[in-house]
């Protein structure tokens, strides 16, 4: 099923149960796929180019050095400017293959076939491609939209429960951005992730990306939960999955918004968030480990009036409000200290009921 997207949107979006070879590129193409999915790909009757790359990548390998051999391989094939790269995998592989496609011959076309809920719900759509530096996540990247996104829910059947839960947080994020608290509460209940939730999230993100492709304004809202989340993810040594870190960041954002006097969320809703996140408590790094990472956040900038002798940093933060759309504010990294402490306390308080 092809989803409705804004007229002129750069990416065709398909959401369906089983993969369809008719959705592969018509011209010359190659594949970069998650090695663990090779059997599922061929079992589905999908073609495998002789020069396909089957790789195993993790967040720790999301570096420029990992994609350089891919570029050398494409040059040896050789791939020309009329070729298309098909990326098959989760959010990490999608980010890396998209960036490699942006760099090769100054940009060739690519398709993304996301196979994790996290990638389907968020990472695969929007053209933000990147790799990490030692200083922080996604600090080297490019905007390079895929020509087509093909999300096949049959690929989710092989995912461990933790990875399904990991993707759920990007869906909850979408609800909180829009102030759709009842939808967020529904997704926090026990039970499987529903395909209409994914469809709804994709439709919302497509609209935002179309209106603000370069993240100059509205698109920044999609970073809800990512400021504290990215710091927690990196400080954990990436023991936290990205979506898990975003979930913790969502709870922290709700608490920060309350600290700043915005419309607070009911204690019962915050407790339900904390209850679902409570198993992650042992992986939450102390505040002292998070603050330096917040200062290096890719959304950080020098605050107005800062000097070399008295530097100051502020981060573009997204703050959710109960029953109302989220808002944007530039804040000092230090404001996250109290929400971090309250978050840890809430997690430990809800752990017995998790």
242 catalytic? Reply is yes
138 catalytic? Reply is no
230 catalytic? Reply is yes
Residue 260: what pLDDT?
Answer: 97
Provide the token pair at 234.
Answer: 């990196």
What region, left, alpha or beta, does residue 32 occupy, with left being phi > 0 and alpha being psi -120 to 50 degrees? beta
Write out pLDDT tens, residues 66-95: 999 999 999 999 999 999 999 999 999 999
Residue 305: what pLDDT?
Answer: 65
Three-state DSSP at 302 gives strand
170 catalytic? Reply is yes
Indicate which residue of 242, 296, 298, 321 is catalytic.
Answer: 242
pTM (global) more than 0.85: yes
219 catalytic? Reply is yes
Pick from 70, 4, 58: nearest CA to 31: 70
Bigger pLDDT: 102 vs 122 = 102
Indicate which residue of 137, 165, 168, 170 is catalytic.
Answer: 170
Q: How far apart are CA 219 and CA 7, in angstroms?
A: 18
263 catalytic? Reply is no
Region 272-291: what's the mean pLDDT? 97
Residue 97: what pLDDT?
Answer: 98
Indicate which residue of 128, 173, 275, 321 is catalytic.
Answer: 128
176-215: buried (b, 16+ CB within 10 Å) or exposed (e) per residue? bbbbbbebbbebbeeeebebebbbbbbbbbbebbbeebeb
128 catalytic? Reply is yes
**Inter-residue contact 339 to 319 (CB < 8 Å):** no
User: Has residue 306 got a pLDDT over 90?
Assistant: no
Three-state DSSP at 135 gives coil
200 catalytic? Reply is no
CA angle 232, 235, 236 (to 5 degrees): 85
Which letter does DSSP use for residue 193 in this model? P
pLDDT band (50, 70, 90) for residue 124: confident
Provide the token pair at 87.
Answer: 């990326």
Region 246-265: what's the mean pLDDT? 97
Strand order across the beta sheet in which 29-34 lies:
12-16, 148-152, 109-114, 84-89, 29-34, 53-55
Residue 309: what pLDDT?
Answer: 52
Tell me the percentage of the chain whose pLDDT exceeds 90. 83
Region 199-203: what's the mean pLDDT? 93
pLDDT band (50, 70, 90) for residue 307: low
215 catalytic? Reply is yes
Three-state DSSP at 142 gives strand
Write out pLDDT tens, residues 89-121: 999 999 999 999 999 999 999 999 999 999 998
147 catalytic? Reply is no
Residue 210: what pLDDT?
Answer: 94
Q: How far apart are CA 145 and CA 75, in angstroms?
A: 22
Q: What is the dihedral of CA 236, 257, 169, 35, to 10 degrees?
A: -40
Q: What is the mean pLDDT of the chain?
A: 93
Provide the token pair at 322.
Answer: 């109960």
């Amino acid at each position: 099923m092809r989803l409705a997207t804004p007229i002129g949107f750069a990416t065709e979006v398909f959401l369906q149960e089983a993969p369809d070879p008719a959705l592969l590129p018509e011209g010359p193409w190659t594949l970069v796929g998650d090695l663990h999915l090779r059997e599922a790909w061929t079992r589905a009757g999908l073609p495998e180019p002789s020069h396909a790359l089957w790789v195993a990548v993790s967040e720790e390998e999301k570096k420029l050095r990992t994609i350089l051999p891919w570029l050398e391989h494409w040059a040896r094939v050789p791939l020309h400017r009329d070729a298309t790269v098909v990326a098959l995998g989760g959010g990490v592989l999608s980010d890396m293959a998209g960036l490699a496609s942006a760099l090769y011959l100054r940009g060739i076309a690519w398709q993304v076939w996301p196979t994790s809920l996290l990638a389907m719900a968020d990472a695969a759509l929007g053209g933000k491609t990147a790799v990490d530096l030692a200083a922080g996540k996604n600090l080297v990247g490019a905007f390079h939209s895929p020509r087509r996104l093909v999300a096949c829910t049959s690929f989710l059947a092989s995912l461990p429960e933790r990875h399904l839960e990991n993707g759920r947080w990007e869906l909850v994020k979408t609800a909180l951005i829009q102030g759709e608290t009842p939808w967020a509460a529904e997704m926090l209940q026990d039970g499987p992730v529903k395909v209409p939730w994914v469809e709804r999230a994709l439709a919302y993100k497509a609209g935002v990306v179309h209106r603000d492709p370069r993240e100059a304004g509205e698109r920044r809202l999609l970073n809800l939960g990512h400021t504290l989340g990215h710091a927690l993810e990196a400080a954990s040594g990436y023991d936290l999955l990205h979506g898990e870190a975003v979930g913790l960041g969502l709870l922290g954002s709700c608490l920060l918004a309350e600290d700043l006097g915005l419309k607070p969320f009911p204690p019962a809703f915050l407790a339900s968030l904390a209850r679902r996140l409570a198993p992650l408590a042992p992986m939450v790094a102390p505040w002292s480990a998070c603050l330096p990472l917040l200062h290096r956040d890719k959304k950080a900038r020098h605050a107005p009036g800062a000097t070399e002798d008295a530097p100051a940093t502020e981060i573009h933060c997204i703050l959710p409000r109960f029953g109302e759309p989220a808002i944007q504010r530039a804040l000092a990294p230090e404001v996250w200290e109290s929400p971090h402490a309250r978050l840890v306390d809430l997690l430990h308080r809800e752990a017995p009921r998790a």
